[in-house]
Amino acid sequence: MSDERVRRARRRVRRLRGFYVHIAVYAVVIAGIALINWFTSPEYWWVVWPMIGWGIGLAAHAVSVLFEDSMLGPEWEERKTQELLSRVQH
């Protein structure tokens, strides 16, 4: 296996780990905020606002990690780099 493939695989694993940590932190913090909401003002569930806001960020993180190899992945990055380098050389 080439060094480049190993490097990419390790990078992918680090990004996945970061995403999983993000999910866990989201779940724990939102659960904590929901408990605070329940004890302080159960008549109005304001917890949905931070849940939605942070959820949008979490969704963006998911897209960047889980669909990394699709639209703007390493192959696109390499093609774009070569394209820009060829412009500079002319």
Angle formed at CA 68 by CA 75 and CA 58, multiple of 5 degrees: 160
pLDDT tens digits for 14-62? Answer: 999 999 999 999 999 999 999 999 999 999 999 999 999 999 999 999 9
Domain membership of residue 75 as a residue range: 3-89
- DSSP-derived 3-state class of residue 73: coil
- At residue 69, the pLDDT reads 65
Give residue for tokens 């897209």.
63
Per the structure, the count of domains in the chain is: 1
pLDDT tens digits for 7-21? Answer: 888 988 999 999 999
Angle formed at CA 23 by CA 32 and CA 37, multiple of 5 degrees: 20
Q: Could you tell me the pTM of the whole model?
A: 0.74
Per-residue pLDDT, averaged over 64-73, amounts to 74
